[in-house]
Amino acid sequence: MNDEGLTSSFTIIPPAIPSAGVYFFTTDSGVKYEVRFGRRKDNILHATIVFGVINDEFEGEEYIETNRGEVYRVMATLDKIIRMFMFEHSKVMIYEFTGVAKEDEPDEGATARLNLYKRYLPVIFPESEGWSFKFQASNAVVSKKDRL
């Protein structure tokens, strides 16, 4: 793993209103990403995080992953965005991610994105800070141990 990639991130465009929960960034290769935080209707302390590419060239495949050698900086940027959101919304105790399958992957189970989450979520949400992880089907759920 590239140490420089873990510490450097792309420039983030935060929401004009912090509670809006939609962040953007563009990689050096011109790939534009959107990171969106949604709240569950049945539990406002449960946020669903969706991120993906929003370039027109990908024809609406917002969950597509590009392989342009920028994954470390993309994940470092996602880490920074999640921490920004957590600072603004300190009461959120559950974060959910979906590992959407690519065309050649099964709809459920170990997708490339879910494998990426398994690698990076412990970095973003350290167990030493009370976070626990549950990976099932194509979802990753991170929750605060001491509050649930």
The per-residue pLDDT for 112 is 76
Q: Are 33 and 52 in contact (CB under 8 A)?
A: yes
Give tens-digit pLDDT for 10-21.
Answer: 999 999 998 889
Q: Are strands 94-98 and 131-136 parallel, antiparallel or unpaired?
A: unpaired
The per-residue pLDDT for 105 is 55
| Among 83, 77, 73, residue whose Cα is nearest residue 3 | 73
pTM over the 0.85 mark: no
